[in-house]
Structure 1
Amino acid sequence: MKNSSAKRLFITLIITLIIFSAEIIGGIISNSLALLSDAGHVFTDSFAIILSLIAAIIAKKPSNRKATYGYQKIGILAAFINGVSLIIIAILIIFEGYRRLISPPEINSNLMLSVAFFGFLGNLLMALILGHKHEDLNIKSAWLHVIGDTVSSIGVIFAGLIIKFTGWILIDPLISLLVGLIIIYGGSRVIKESLFIFLDFTPRGFDVNEITEKIGKIKGICDIHDLHIWSIGYGIPAFSAHVVVDVKLLSEADKIRSEIEAELIKIGIKHSVIQIESCKCSKNSFYCNLGHPHSDIHN
């Protein structure tokens, strides 16, 4: 595979399937819900990583007439589905944990500890492979799956030690409830970030008023309206606006456009569409008043 993200996801998938097999067998034999809940989380990990792997390959396809912006949002869609799957599995874990609090079963703590420790090492390895710095929400969602499972493995180990040395078996469903809440937190974050992009909300870190003021300071600009900032993909902001200028020559208007693009690049926006106009905007336009003497529009 030429795609480095796809390589990392493929290796992570192999490790995930090995851990899942070990934990599901160990959970059934030891009768540990904490271990089975961890296996359930690992199962969603494998599903999430497969989805992320497919999305990572498709997202690298160049733009074409079917997708003029490219395929980056395929990865965002995968991230959203991964986030939803995290919350669904967490709800199932919490439900089973509650049931076992009422009627706790006997648990083989030695087997539970052995399998949980093996799972912890595998999850730690996967987290290192995927890394902690991400420019792709799709990869980030897969990493959050793995991190959530690493934390849950620690919880299972802790529960196993408590059961082994104290015999308090209620710690098993209690830990599974905690794992469920951790998974819900991670899943809700991914869903929120992906929806921000799908709904074309202004990307975090960009203030429309500040950007408008910076552009408005460029000599020759009267007004700015129909201004939009959104994300083409994770970490790929885009900008469009109508800019009213008081120059007469096309070369001067083009110089202003270049200055606007340079300001946008400074703040991290490389994709921009700027329409230059030579007349004043209407009174209901967006962000028209920049304090220039040429503008008779007041907010």
Structure 2
Amino acid sequence: MSGDPSHGEDARHAGHGSHAGHPDHAAASRRALLVALAINTAFFVVELVGALLADSVTLLADATHMLTDSASLLLALFAAWVSTRPADARRTYGYHRAEVLGALVNGLFLLGVVGYVVYDALRRFGDPRPVDASLVVAVGVVGLVANLVAAWVLSGHRDSLNVEGAFLHLLADAAGSVAAVVLGLTLLVTDWYVLDPVFALVVAALVSYSVWDLLRDSLNILLQGTPRGLDVDEIRAALAAVDGVADVHHLHVWALDSQRVALSGHLVTTAEADGDAILGQTQRLLGDRFGVDHATLQLEGAHVETAAFDCHRPTTHD
């Protein structure tokens, strides 16, 4: 591509925002994930033993979900470590999207857990079994405390989609523990054992609800979609309003990961425009108003045909 020669350079970077790199914050996130993993794994063993002794499908569902929490935390830790690798010739943006992939896998893992719980609960409807209510209450309380403590450890690091996925695992599991406690208290005064699979389905519904946003955001990033909260038309109008900019086209906005937003576009400038001034102003505008971290803008003279910058490979015919 070629731009207006009066501007010298065809493409120039319009700056990098404040999220370009936070090694200390990333290290703190990994430590938080490690602590949450240790807490969750210890109490998974407790809850699994309690579920088997009480013969409760609700408790078993919650214990199974707790195991997936541990797996998700381990996956999140691995993804967080991979994302710290520096950019290279093959991955010029670095490995930040490893965390997004980790979040996506966590979401799919949760859906698999939901499928298992629903299957087991439906099977139990035809054959309700007696449940040790006292043990269900005790283990449910212990599991609830463990989930809430682990979620609290991660609560300060939810700006990462990867950590957010692990956090949602823990909250959904906490809801499952609440369901187990309510079930146990109910069965202490009644013999409605059919409530066991009913509460298991409630847990499954809560898990499904919690995973929706995670899957949607992960897929949107991987598909180069516009990040939630950003309006491309609003950005285009703001750039067009910069002094010296006559038109804006080929504007693209996407997310590198859950924290970094990238943008590229072509700015058609007036004949008397100051290219350096335009780039400086757009840098501040994009960073301060829209949170864009990486922006690359092409400056073009008003006399250049827009079609000249259509970068699609031409089709040849025999």
Partner of 2:14: none
Report the Cα offset of residue 132 of structure 1.
5.7
Partner of 2:277: 255
Report the Cα offset of residue 245 of structure 1.
1.1
Report the Cα offset of residue 79 of structure 1.
0.1
Between the aligned partners of 2:159 and 2:135, the Cα distance in structure 1 is 39
What amino acid does structure 1 have at the position aligned with 2:221?
I
- Single out whichever of 144-153 and 17-26 deviates more from structure 2: 17-26
Report the Cα offset of residue 236 of structure 1.
1.2
Whether the 8 Å contact between 2:157 and 2:163 is mirrored in structure 1 is: no
The answer to whether structure 1 residue 56 and structure 2 residue 98 are counterparts is no
Between the aligned partners of 1:197 and 1:244, the Cα distance in structure 2 is 29
The answer to whether structure 1 residue 178 and structure 2 residue 206 are counterparts is no
The answer to whether structure 1 residue 142 and structure 2 residue 202 are counterparts is no
What amino acid does structure 2 have at the position aligned with 1:274?
L
Question: In 2 relative to 1, CA 31–284 (structure 1 residues): closer, same or farther, beyond 3 Å?
Answer: farther
SS in 1 for 2:193: coil
What amino acid does structure 2 have at the position aligned with 1:233?
D
Partner of 1:233: 257
Between the aligned partners of 2:90 and 2:172, the Cα distance in structure 1 is 37
Deviations along 1:34-79, one digit per CA (max 9) or x if unpaired, are 0000011011111100000111122123323232212110000000
The answer to whether structure 1 residue 270 and structure 2 residue 293 are counterparts is yes
The equivalences for 1:135-214 within 5 A come to: 135-214=159-238
Between the aligned partners of 2:31 and 2:164, the Cα distance in structure 1 is 15
Deviations along 1:7-52, one digit per CA (max 9) or x if unpaired, are 1111111111111111111111110000000011011111100000
What amino acid does structure 2 have at the position aligned with 1:257?
L
SS in 2 for 1:233: coil
Gaps of 5+ in 2: 1-22, 311-318
Partner of 1:45: 69
Between the aligned partners of 2:198 and 2:135, the Cα distance in structure 1 is 19
Question: In 2 relative to 1, CA 133–17 (structure 1 residues): closer, same or farther, beyond 3 Å?
Answer: closer
Whether the 8 Å contact between 1:225 and 1:281 is mirrored in structure 2 is: no
The answer to whether structure 1 residue 17 and structure 2 residue 50 are counterparts is no
Partner of 2:16: none
What amino acid does structure 1 have at the position aligned with 2:127?
S
Gaps of 5+ in 1: 287-299
- Single out whichever of 130-139 and 223-232 deviates more from structure 2: 130-139
Percent identity over the alignment is 30
Between the aligned partners of 1:194 and 1:284, the Cα distance in structure 2 is 35
Whether the 8 Å contact between 2:244 and 2:272 is mirrored in structure 1 is: no
Whether the 8 Å contact between 2:266 and 2:299 is mirrored in structure 1 is: yes
Whether the 8 Å contact between 1:224 and 1:243 is mirrored in structure 2 is: yes
